[in-house]
Amino acid sequence: MRIRIGQGYDIHRLVEGRKLRLGGYTLPEQTRGLLGHSDADVLLHALIDALLGALALGDIGQWFSDRDPQWKDADSALLLKTVLEAPQLQAWKLLNLDATIIAQEPRLQAHIPAIRQSLADLLRCDCTQVSVKAKTNEGLDAVGTGQAIAVQVVLLVGH
C-alpha cells in the first residue's frame, strides 16, 4: 500500500453576526461566527489543505480564490466535495485524520460528537477514522483572547 501524509492549518477571525461553522456543522445558539469570503469553516479549510498537501496538489487558495465571487459565502462542504471529486484524488482513500481546534470560546467539548459525525458524513468514512480534539490557548494571543479560532489537521491517505 502507498501512503501519503498531509497537514493543514487555518485561522479565521471571530466576529458578531455570523454563523459558527466547524467541520460542516453549524453550532447552535452562537452570536459570533467566523469571518471569511466563504462560510469561513476553519476546520474544513485546514482539512482541504491537508488533503491537497498529502498529494502535493497546492493549497486551498489556488483551488478556490477568495477573489472569485463564485465562492462568496460558499458552503465549505462544497469546496471539500469539489476536491474529493477531483480526478487526482480518485485512487486514494482517507485512512484517518486527526484535527485540533484551538478556541478560547465557545467551549466545544459538547459539540465534538456532532462535528466528528459531520466530517465522517462529508468524507464518507467511519467516525472511528476521524479524531477531533479541542483546546484553548490558555488566554494567550488572538486565539486565546477569543478573537479567532485556529485549526490544525493531520491525515493519512492510502491506496
Residues that bind Mg ion (CB under 5 A): 10, 45
Closer to Mg ion by CB, 44 or 123: give it.
Answer: 44
> The C-alpha cell of 129 is what?
477514522
Task: Give DSSP secondary structure letters for 31-80.
Answer: SEEE-SSS---HHHHHHHHHHHHHTT---HHHHS-TT-GGGTT--HHHHH
Cβ at position 158, least distance to Mg ion in Å? 26
Cβ at position 100, least distance to Mg ion in Å? 16
Q: What is the CA radius of gyration of the chain?
A: 15
User: Which residue has its beta carbon closest to Mg ion?
Assistant: 45
Closer to Mg ion by CB, 43 or 129: give it.
Answer: 43
Cβ at position 10, least distance to Mg ion in Å? 4
Instruction: Give the residue from 142, 119, 143, 150 showing the smallest Cα distance to 132.
Output: 119
Closer to Mg ion by CB, 10 or 77: give it.
Answer: 10
Closer to Mg ion by CB, 37 or 93: give it.
Answer: 37
